Amino acid sequence: MTSSPSPADLYCVMGNPVAHSRSPAIHARFAELTGQRLRYERRLIELDGFVQGVRDFTAEGGLGCNITVPFKFEAPAMATVCSDRVRLAGAANVLSFQPDGSIHADNTDGLGLVADITRNADVALQGARVLLVGAGGAAAGVLGPLLEAGAAHVTVANRTVAKAEALVASHSALAALQKAELLALSPQAVEADFDIIINATASSLAGAGVPVPASVLRPGSLAYDMMYGPAAQGFMDWASAHGAVARDGLGMLVEQAAEAFALWRGVRPPSAQVLEEMRQSAS
Ligand code: ATR
């Protein structure tokens, strides 16, 4: 008697909108390259339906999901166990459903950014002076990992300064532990230049241009937009015009996925190869 093959392990990305998500393609390629047998789907979740969406997915036997806009802040409340990174960021982008029914939440966005800067772009964070522009969810997800990666100084600059101050306050203990200097400023008040400038604002989506003066750049600075594709182009053109090295967030996307894949499967995928393939197919 022949038995039918067991279904492949099930994962997904949940968001709204989610049609644009490149996570299914990235995870499918990781699975192919590591010989892991899994299915990775896209799930469009009603805006008020996140809790039900997670329940439905686990009832289907789902083993893990990535969480994207706008549910990253709701995700920690679904978890039995939150990593330190989730507690610091107040947001999660990875849920893992354990055999005992518990749910583990993690946030791999900052790890992805750090991996892309240090490994793929080959720029040191250890001892670096970093300007983080923005203080919303995207910035909150990466500040802890930037400090843990050894940045010597981080200025958080945001249009609404009170939000930058709140982010700095919630990270002050970590900064002290890391012996890093951490400041909150309004974008107009930033006077120094920096080794690394990270755009974590939505200003390009709002068509509002670059939210900091060009004096933050110097030749050879790394200017990094956490977005990719057309949304990152304005910032990257501005940075290149001022002699900085411009980089978009495609590598961060691939590396945060690689961290999630490693958490779920216990296998590290060849993320640099997959990033290179994605850049080739886009050009
Ligand atoms: P995300 O999760 O993408 O970070 P968010 O939490 O809404 O989204 O945060 C958006 C960020 O982009 C904030 O830092 C926001 O600045 P405010 O806190 O002052 O709102 C920033 N942002 C959005 N539009 C902007 C603009 N036109 N100029 C400058 N900053 C802008």
Instruction: Please give the domain boundaries of the chain with CATH numbers for all domains.
Output: 9-107+252-282 (3.40.50.10860), 110-248 (3.40.50.720)
At 136-169, the pLDDT tens digits run 989 999 999 999 999 999 999 999 999 999 999 9
- Pocket test residue of 159, 185, 204, 205 for ligand 1, highest count of atoms within 8 A of CB: 159
Nearest CA to ligand 1 atom 26: 203
Nearest-atom number in ligand 1 for the CA of 208 is 27
pLDDT tens digit sequence for 199-247: 999 776 666 678 899 999 999 999 999 999 888 999 999 999 999 999 9
Q: Tokens 């793929």 label which residue?
A: 120
Whether the CB of 187 sits within 6 Å of ligand 1 = no
Q: What is the mean pLDDT of the chain?
A: 95
Task: Dump strand ranges (E) for 120-200.
Answer: 129-133, 153-157, 181-185, 196-199
- Classified as helix, coil or strand, 169 is helix
- 72 as an active site residue: the answer is yes
Task: Quote the pLDDT of residue 122.
Answer: 98
Q: Which of 199, 249, 243 is nearest to 217 (CA)?
A: 243
Distance separating alpha carbons of residues 130 and 182, to the nearest angstrom: 10
CA distance 78 to 199: 29
User: Which of these is catalytic: 27, 29, 43, 72?
Assistant: 72
Share of the chain above pLDDT 90, in %: 91
Q: With a cut of 70, which residues of the chain have pLDDT below it?
A: 1-4, 204-208
Question: How many angstroms separate the alpha carbon of residue 69 from the centre of ligand 1?
Answer: 14
